[in-house]
Amino acid sequence: MWDYRVRFYFPGRLAALIVASIPVLALADDLPTASAPTFQVGDSWVFDTSHQKGTTGFSQQKIDVVIDRVSSEDMLVGVKQDGSPKAFEDHITGLDWSLKLTVNNNQTVTARPFSFPLKVGESWTADWTDPRRQGNQTSAHFHKVYKVVGWQDVTVPAGAFHAIKIEAKGSADANEEIPASGASAVVGAPGSSTAISHVQAARKGVIHMTTYAEIYYVPEIKYLVKSLQEQYNASSVMVSRDTEELVSYKVAH
């Protein structure tokens, strides 16, 4: 990070010595890249996770993640609460930890946190539309741009790591359709009452959200060691924040 406290007002030879001592910043082409990992059945990670809902709710739990199966195109990943006697809930993910949703018999990538090899300055996009109706939501469009911003030292419960940082900024626009509704009631004392009715017309609208995420990936861990995900409403007020920090891991090399 550039240090704005440096001021070039030193006289003569002293100024030359100071300028010569400033390290040359490495170009993106000179920085190391992170290649795609090779997974093994049994690779596992334990995370401390937290969920904050605006200013009204907060929860924490430990989550276990384990590789159950690896194929040439994807892998089966088990997830469950740490210490739970229940079986792992299995999810199919890409070998780059990408997620897909099948809509109208077509598979669409909904999230791609990594695009290997990870190289500083590289970026990629996840853009998709969910046409399914869910309650009053008739459809939703999601757009997210990921970018590798650099290497950074991070410390989590599992230890200190040199990680490659990825930022993701995006938006979500949900089309909402509220059906017409009506309600009526009778109020008053015995022998004298008044009927009250209310009718709400049908309406349509769009709910807009913006998203921000930070992901810290460590090659020797084969996965992230820390992440932050936030959602903001149309008024730029945070409505949720989710965090993950690696507690322990077991991976084959």
Q: What is the pLDDT of residues 119-162, one digit of tens each?
A: 999 999 999 998 888 888 889 999 999 999 999 999 999 999 99
- Confidence check: pLDDT of 176 > 70: yes
Give the 3-state secondary structure of residue 160. Answer: strand
In this structure, is the dihedral angle defined by the CA atoms of residues 113, 81, 79 and 161, taken in order, positive or negative?
positive
Q: What are the domain boundaries of the chain?
A: 28-179+201-250
pTM for the full model?
Answer: 0.78
> The tokens of 36 are what?
């795609």
Q: What percent of the chain is predicted at pLDDT more than 90?
A: 64
φ, ψ (nearest 5 deg) of residue 18: -65, -45
DSSP code at position 14: H
Q: Are 97 and 223 in contact (CB under 8 A)?
A: yes
Q: Answer whether residue 21 shows pLDDT above 50.
A: no
Separation of alpha carbons 211 and 170, rounded Å: 5
pLDDT value, residue 54: 83
Confidence of residue 11 (pLDDT cuts 50, 70, 90): very low
Residue 178, pLDDT above cutoff 90: no
What number of CA atoms fall less than 13 Å from residue 85's CA on the CB side?
A: 0
Higher pLDDT, 196 or 235: 235
pLDDT in tens, 58-112: 999 999 999 999 999 999 999 999 999 999 999 999 999 999 988 778 888 999 9
**DSSP line for 30-60:** GS--BPPP---TT-EEEEEEEEEETTTEEEE
State in words which class domain 28-179+201-250 has. mainly beta
pLDDT of amino acid 134: 84
| Higher per-residue pLDDT: 211 or 25 | 211
CA distance 11 to 245: 48
Collapsed DSSP state (helix, strand, coil) of residue 120 = coil
